[in-house]
Structure formats: C-alpha cells, structure tokens
Amino acid sequence: MRAKKVATDVRQEQIAMAALELVAERGIKALQVADIAKRVGVVPSAIYRHYKGKGDILDTVLQLIGQRLQENVLGVCDETSDALQRLELLLMRHARLLTTYRAIPSVIFSEEIYGGTPEQRNKASSIVKPYMRAIMRIVSEGQQAGAIRDDLHARTVAVMVMGIIQPAAIIAHLERGRFDLGNHVQQAWPVLRRGIEVR
C-alpha cells in the first residue's frame, strides 16, 4: 500500500526523528536507511527524496542531540542561579535523557572520533565541546560566587561532572535494572560536591 504523499519539510522532520530514535537506541553505526524508512512508513529509496544521503541525516541527528543537551543547560539555568544546584540538576536531567535515549553515550564516544576523518571528528566535537563549555561556565560562576573552590580548573571539574554520568550509563545498561542511573547520580553528586565546594 502506497504511503500518502507528504510535503518534504514534514517528511524531513519525520525522518530526522526516526533516525534520532534509532541512533539513541542502538548507536550510529547500526543506523540503516532501511530501518529509518520502515519506521517512517515508506520504502528506503523514498528517503533520498528528502535527504541527499545517509550522512546528511546523521548530521541532522547530531544537531538534535546537541540541542537537547543545550536545552537541559538552559533549563537548569532558568531554574536556579546557584552553581552547585545547577550542576546537580543538570546531572539529573542528563540522567533522565539517557534513560530515554540509552545509546547517546556511545554516540559521544563514537569510534569516528578515533578512526574517522577530521570532518567526522569535528562533527563529534560539535556535541561535546559546547556542552563542556556550558558546564565550565557554570563552574566558573560558582567559583566567582565563592561556592566552588577556585584553586581548581573549571575544566577539571567539568570533566568530572561528565564523568559521573558517562561510565555509569554503560554500567546501568549492562546491569539491567540492578544499577539505577538516577540513583547513582544522587549518590555520586554529594561526593563530587564535597570535593569541589568551598568549606
């Protein structure tokens, strides 16, 4: 049965969302045009009416992921002005995001970072760096406000914040319910806070 004809901007959106879900479930490398098509409800060759190729779809997906991370940052900054609280809330939001999109860590740790072309590396960068910078900004503000030790590099702290989430997401997945990511964040954050806060 032939799918209904849909305007290209609508179909592009559907394709992007389908691809995002698939990437988030299984990672980049497992993404196949045929799977996207199936999820959208068209045949694979129809995808090329709306995107030039698979690479273009992936570019869009990476943008979407980056956006979601940035939305989380904006959200916590709206919610409180206290840097330590911002970090805590950001970790919670990040954990929630990863519960929905389980494979996102593997996107960030994509093998393209190592084996890929400079172009591919730049694309991976395009997610990681802005997020890192946003966290560093929060840390710096906390240092200026006297809540966070200013003898530490903001980057060191920011990397440690990311370090709460990233390995934990993997382990949560491997442990199948015997290790809860949100729970881990609640336990790990006070440890890190103790390490970075001014006493």
> Where along the sequence are the contacts to its own copies (CB under 8 A)?
25-30, 102-103, 105-106, 108-111, 113-115, 121, 124-125, 128-129, 132, 152-153, 155-157, 159-160, 162-168, 170-171, 173-174, 179, 184, 187-188, 191-196
The answer to whether 45 contacts DNA (rule: CB under 7 A) is yes
Least distance in Å: CB of 59 to DNA?
A: 12
The answer to whether 42 contacts DNA (rule: CB under 7 A) is yes
CA 141 – CA 138 distance, rounded (Å): 5
163-183: buried (b, 16+ CB within 10 Å) or exposed (e) per residue? ebbbebbbebeeeeeeeebee
* 195 interface partner picked from its own copies, DNA, none, CB below 5 to 8 A per type: its own copies
**Closest by Cα among 60, 20, 62 to 40:** 20
Beta-carbon count within 10 A of 59 CB: 14
The answer to whether 111 contacts DNA (rule: CB under 7 A) is no
Q: Which residues bind DNA (CB under 7 A)?
A: 1-8, 11, 31-34, 42-46, 48-50, 53-55
